[in-house]
Amino acid sequence: MKRIIQLEEVAMLGISIYALYLLKVEWWFYLLLLLAPDVSMLGYLAGNKIGAITYNLFHHKAVAIILFMIGFINQTWIIQVTGIILFGHSSMDRMLSYGLKYFTGFKYAHLGELV
């Protein structure tokens, strides 16, 4: 089952890259921002609960979709791109078995414990 989920996430990452291509996002801009959501891990400096909340906020696909839709409705390019990058980054993380975090610590995620 884990492989099926990883393949699904690879497909979603591919879709996000294609969406950025359609929005004419320069490749260097995408690479620059691809890892930006990981800044949310700084929340762990304030403890596991705050860390999990900040990490999950930046890695939740519903947040990414809502951001994209707000940008789409308002025709705001940068908000659309931000939503797509968050979506693609979340897919990339889940493809690598990083999931949404529990309050017990960074290595405890909805996809299982990180080793």
Other Cβ atoms less than 10 A from the Cβ of 42: the count is 12
Is 114 within the bounds of a domain?
Answer: no
According to the model, what pLDDT value does residue 3 have? 87
In a domain, 104, yes or no: yes
Q: How far apart are CA 96 and CA 24, in angstroms?
A: 27
Tell me, what DSSP letter sits at residue 75? T
Instruction: Note whether residue 115 is domain-resident.
Output: no
Contact call for residues 13 and 95 (beta carbons, < 8 A): yes
64 occurs within a structural domain:
yes
Count of structural domains within the chain: 1
Would you write out the chain's pLDDT as a tens digit for each of its 115 residues?
678 989 999 999 999 999 999 999 998 888 888 889 999 999 999 999 999 999 999 999 999 999 999 999 999 999 999 999 999 999 999 998 888 999 998 888 887 777 7
Q: d(Cα 113, Cα 105) in Å, to the nearest integer?
A: 10
What pLDDT shows up at residue 1?
64
Contacts of 77 (CB under 8 A, 6+ apart): 23, 71
Closest CA to 82 of 28, 34, 26: 34
Whether 99 is in a domain gets the answer yes
- Contact between 49 and 103 under an 8 Å Cβ cutoff? The reply is yes
- In whole angstroms, give the CA distance from residue 65 to residue 43: 23
Q: What is the pLDDT of residue 86?
A: 95
Q: How far apart, in whole angstroms, are the C-alpha atoms of residue 2 and residue 78?
A: 33
What pLDDT score does 108 carry? 84
> Quick check: is 14 in a domain?
yes
Predicted pLDDT at 47: 95
- Output the pLDDT for position 82: 95
Range of the domain at 14: 2-109
The answer to whether position 20 is within a domain reads yes
